[in-house]
């Protein structure tokens, strides 16, 4: 019968979670490195959050984004940290924040303009494919955007690499006649999809409004498989 299937990244495509992520990171840091925050004035904590949005180790935002894959293992090694342990801590801190102050947690996030309505009135089959823990994405969709997407349509952290999720989606019998679309804000993820011949039928989109750099957007525009789209165009396509 035809129709469209949209696989959507969450952070940077649907939701601007930068404010909430920064505050959750601070809360988690205060648990993980308690002694470092002993006696720290709340105004200093506000400054720390502001600095997360500006610089780190002398690098500006664009330099961090462009070098993150190299920087992350170095930082983890220097601090002798375990990835899974930090993911667990971050999730626990978020759960506690939601339990104790749900409205405050929700209010620290925002959906990009027009996205909530586009999701509500979309006639397409919509799936969320994200590295965020699924329960948080589901809560924000429900509480902040007023959108109920069944949990079985939300593929979050722990459900496998995005390329594998896309393979799974396209293999489902109910999707065999649908036109496939994948919307991301990370160029590296889209390039990983292109490397997989089995995913050649996916239309790929990089959102200009997401967490990417001008350099990445320029590179994406030079790749035939990738369509670089504006937020307004995305919302129209989704409807």
Instruction: Sketch the domain layout of the chain as residue ranges.
Output: 4-16+112-238, 18-107
The pLDDT value recorded for residue 66 is 76
Mind listing the pLDDT tens digit for each residue in 108-153?
Answer: 999 999 999 999 999 999 999 999 999 999 999 999 999 999 999 9
* Residues belonging to the chain: 239
- CA angle, 180 as apex, 8 and 237 as ends, to 5°? 65
CB–CB of 174/199 below 8 Å? no
Nearest in space to 211 (alpha carbons), one of 62, 41, 60, 101: 62
Instruction: Judge: domain 4-16+112-238, CATH 3.60.15.10.
Output: no
Mean pLDDT of the chain: 92
**Whole-number Å distance between alpha carbons of 94 and 100:** 10
CB-based burial label for 45 (10 Å; 0-12, 13-18, 19+): middle
79-103 burial, b for 16+ CB within 10 Å, e for fewer?
eeeeeeeeeebbbebbeebbeeeee
Residue 239 pLDDT class (50, 70, 90 cuts): confident
Mean predicted confidence (pLDDT) in 61-90: 88
In whole angstroms, give the CA distance from residue 203 to residue 135.
27
pLDDT attached to residue 26: 94
CB atoms within 10 A of CB 78: 8
Q: Could you give the residue ranges of the DSSP H alpha helices within the chain?
A: 18-32, 42-52, 61-78, 83-100, 102-107, 115-120, 134-143, 162-171, 187-194, 214-221, 231-238
| pLDDT recorded at residue 172 | 97
């Amino acid at each position: 019968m035809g129709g469209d299937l949209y696989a959507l990244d969450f952070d940077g495509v649907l939701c601007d979670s930068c404010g909430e992520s920064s505050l959750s990171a601070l809360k988690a840091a205060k648990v993980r490195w308690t002694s470092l925050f002993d006696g720290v004035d709340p105004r200093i904590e506000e400054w720390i959050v502001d600095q997360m949005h500006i610089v780190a180790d002398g690098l500006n935002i664009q330099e961090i984004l462009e070098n993150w894959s190299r920087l992350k293992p170095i930082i983890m090694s220097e601090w002798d940290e375990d990835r899974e342990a930090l993911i667990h801590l971050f999730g626990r801190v978020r759960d506690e924040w939601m339990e104790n102050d749900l409205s405050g947690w929700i209010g620290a996030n925002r959906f990009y303009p027009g996205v909530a309505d586009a999701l509500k009135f979309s006639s397409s089959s919509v799936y969320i494919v994200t590295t965020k823990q699924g329960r948080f994405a589901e809560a924000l969709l429900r509480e902040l955007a007023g959108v109920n997407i069944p949990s079985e349509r939300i593929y979050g952290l722990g459900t496998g690499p995005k390329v594998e999720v896309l393979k799974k989606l396209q293999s489902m019998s109910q999707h065999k006649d649908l036109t496939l679309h994948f919307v991301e804000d990370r160029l590296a993820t889209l390039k990983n999809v292109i490397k997989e011949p089995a995913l050649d039928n996916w239309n790929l989109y990089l959102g200009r409004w997401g967490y990417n750099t001008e350099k990445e957007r320029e590179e994406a525009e030079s790749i035939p498989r990738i369509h670089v789209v504006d937020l307004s165009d995305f919302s129209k396509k989704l409807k």
